[in-house]
Structure 1
Amino acid sequence: MKTFQRISWIAVIFLSLYCIPGTAGNNCVTHNFVFKGGEKISYSAVYNWGFIWLNAGLVTFTVDSTGWNKKAAFHLKAVGVTHKGYDKLFMVRDTFESYVDTKTLTPFEFRRSTKEGSYEASEHYLYNSRTRIIDATISREGGLPERSKIEWPECSFDLVSMVYQARNIDFSKYKYNDKIPIVMIVDGEVFNLYIRYLGKEEIKTREGRRFRCLKFTPLLVEGTIFNAGEDMTVWLTDDNARIPIIVEAKILIGSVKAMFIGAEGLRHPMSAEIIDK
């Protein structure tokens, strides 16, 4: 758990960005209907304190159609990078990748490369769907790689495959204040998390764009990667595109936010955007 006490604000945004209705229990997605190969979504990572707004970095999510061990696969990739001006304060170069089945989104392989200030870490998972075992190789702070075998619970995913699984959930069956469980594999451990659904809300971006959204708040669970007292909120488009528009994570002084910049190669239009005529 010490690894995640040192995680940067960009990584926190990445984690909270898709800690939305997950895939535990009977919620496990069996068919992808939301995205396709060629999709790219970009976010500005922003620090906010009162009237102070600092554009600190860029986070991008991409989907490429490819193959994995003679199987049709999506290559899912998320990259977080601080701007050069912010690098002097705290440089971040984070890359998360997952190869998943194109139909069920079951993960085949996961890779993570993290450089945050002076801290470096890497992870590599190979999933065995027959034995339900993950072969994990993890290196922290320049140390030698450590290999281990992790039991792979049903409907559990790494950070990246969880992102795209969650976008395929049927949100219509949830009511205001519902608690929804998710199971994620992070840093070689399995975490049972859950979030609270807070209904629908219209929001406006800093650029003045308005969207009809679904609202969620990750709840604190003892032993998870979230520290006590943190408050995160996610606004997701209420349409078939299922695009997070704003993610806010309150910190000791101010907050950090992921602000939607743009998207291309979408399978469905962002019909939740409100355009004045």
Structure 2
Amino acid sequence: MNNKLLFIILFLSSFGIYSQNFCTPKEIPFISGEEIIYDVSYHMANTWVPAGKVRFMVKDSTFKNINCFYIEGKGKTYKNYDWFFKVRDKYASFVSKESLKPTHFVRRVREGNFSLNYDYSFDYKNKKAVVIEKKNDVDSKETINISSCAYDLMTSVYFARAIDFNKYKIGDTIAIDIVLDKKVYEGVNIIYNGKEIIKTQHNKKINCINFKIDLIEGTIFKGDEKMSVFVTDDENKVPIYIEAEILVGSIKVFVNSIKNTKTKLKFLN
């Protein structure tokens, strides 16, 4: 049941294929200091159960003397849910401020009796990524080939926020490559699904963009399923609400709190 945090948070055209220009966003929809906290609910036995929280944050940082964003996502189940399935996950990326491409990515997964530790170093000039797996105090290293449009789990979330959906019509798809473990999943589709007003769990209404994302087979999610994501229809494109079917039941993710967005959110009430 690995990869839970990614696709909970993850969210986060007629271009069947993409171009180098498309892979470099024109506008960055977030700033250093942004912090978003989500509540996660799990549907089980006809009942929605509060299961945990996910926290995303962005700050200025450096990696190997390069100025960058440090983007971190942490997810954990509530203590009273740990008996069923305990989760303590962390994803963190050092990301170019211009291209949103990762320089280094860290993945730490603790889910039930399962644990996973990966470190990734990206070399876009040579289209390579070095993946180090830490297991039982032994490190294994592998070099994989990547495209110029390949992203790790964390940066793929923030890249999706940078897409200008006003350029697309309903049903259009945008394809990106996602590096997961020691494999590159090519052509993961983001499908534009229109606009809708969403009410938050604090009863605030806001205009949103809806898109769906292909879910990678072999995770806790069903094959050939899609996750539905709603982001604010503004410069921030903050994910407000997410829903997805999983192997057993389904999940809903609601925004709880938002701090330090690029521009002020415009609620309708």
TM-score, with normalisation over the residues of structure 1?
Answer: 0.87
Any idea what SS the aligned residue of 1:160 has? helix
> Any idea what SS the aligned residue of 1:89 has?
helix
Q: Partner amino acid for 2:174?
A: I
Q: More deviation in 175-184 or 125-134?
A: 125-134
* Mapped partners of 1:201, 1:177: distance in 2: 15
| From 109, 112, 120, the counterpart of 2:107 | 112
Using a 3 Å threshold, how does the CA distance of structure 1 residues 250 and 204 change in structure 2: closer, same or farther?
same
Q: Which residue of 1 aligns with 2:166?
A: 172
**Structure 1 residues 135 and 254: CA distance shift in structure 2, 3 A:** closer
Cα distance in structure 2, aligned partners of 1:77 and 1:173: 29
Superposed counterparts of 1:233-248, under 5 Å:
233-248=228-243
- Give the CA deviation at 1:143: 7.3
Matched ranges for 1:1-277 at <5 A:
6-7=1-2, 9-15=4-10, 17-18=11-12, 24-25=18-19, 26-49=21-44, 52-139=47-134, 142=136, 144-192=138-186, 193-219=188-214, 227-228=222-223, 230-251=225-246, 254-271=249-266, 273-275=267-269
Q: Check conservation: 1:63, 1:75, Cα contact below 8 A.
A: yes
TM-superposed deviation, 1:33 = 2.8
Counterpart code for 1:127: F
Work out the percentage of aligned pairs sharing the same amino acid.
31
- Output the CA distance in 1 between the equivalents of 2:252 and 2:261: 23
Q: 1:207 to 1:87 in 2, by over 3 A?
A: same
> Structure 1 pair 232/163, CA: closer, same or farther in 2 (3 Å)?
closer
Secondary structure of the structure 1 residue equivalent to 2:88: strand
Q: Secondary structure at the match of 2:115?
A: strand
Measured after TM superposition, the shift of residue 60 of structure 1 is 0.6
Looking at structure 1, the residues matched to 39 and 260 of structure 2 have their Cα atoms a distance apart, in angstroms, of 19
Gap runs ≥5 in structure 1:
1-5
User: In angstroms, what is the RMSD of aligned CA positions?
Assistant: 2.3
- Where do 5+ consecutive residues of structure 2 fail to align? none
Q: CA-to-partner distance for each residue in 1:61-94, whole Å, 9 max, x for gaps? A: 1001011111111111000011111111111010
Q: Are the counterparts in 2 of residues 183 and 190 from structure 1 also a CA contact under 8 Å?
A: yes
Q: Tell me the alpha carbon deviations over residues 24-58 of structure 1, each in whole angstroms, 9 at most, x when there is no partner.
A: 43521244431111110110011135863211111
State how many pairs are aligned: 263
Contact 2:54 2:76 in 1 (8 A): yes
Counterpart Cα distance in 2 of 1:32 and 1:232: 24
The match for 1:3 is none
1:141-190 CA-to-partner distances (Å, cap 9, x unmatched) read x4733210011211111011112222111111110111221211111211
Q: Distance in 1 between matches of 2:18 and 2:151?
A: 10
